[in-house]
Copies of this chain bind each other. A is one copy, B any other.
Amino acid sequence: MRFSIPIRVYIEDTDAGGIVYYVNYLKYMERARSEFLRACGFEHRELLQQDILFVVHKSTVHYKKPATMDEALVSTLWIKNQAKVRVIFQQTIARQSDGEVLCEAENEIACVRYSDKKPQRIPAQLREGFATISGKNAQTHFESDK
């Protein structure tokens, strides 16, 4: 089960090589995670007020082909694994026109306290929200998490 948002490449995203500056794919991926969170009924703003912050812990990114100025892209995610404190997202950035994947990544996100940046359990309501969107597979991961 996958979650996607459209992305448009603007001048701000490009570099002197004439293509999307590679770190910006990570921004496109985070936009998808933020919209996924919103689709689950949560926003960073209110989570911060509850002392909850999600931080990226590890990323493995494979830049396969460049995206260019003005291109219409799709930023897609699915949950590979969910544990008490961490969620692993599989993410891709693909061309909208032909679906070719330009960049793919595995991003491990940790839940920390905003106040002291120490790890904390992902709140139950959020885990349930993730599971709702992520479907049966994710739920299995959720249940097997010890």
Chain A residues proximal to chain B, CB less than 8 Å: 8, 10-12, 14-19, 21-24, 26-27, 30-31, 34-35, 38, 43-45, 48, 53, 55-63, 65-66, 68-70, 114, 117
Subset of 7 A-B contacts with CB under 8 Å: A10-B27, A12-B23, A12-B30, A15-B15, A16-B19, A26-B26, A44-B70
In contact, A66 and B22 (Cβ under 8 angstroms): no
Residues of B near A19 (CB, < 8 A) are 16, 55, 117
In contact, B63 and A56 (Cβ under 8 angstroms): yes
A126 to B53 CA separation, bound complex (whole angstroms): 33
A23 to B24 CA separation, bound complex (whole angstroms): 8
With known contacts A38-B70, A63-B58, A15–B17 Cβ distance under 8 A:
no
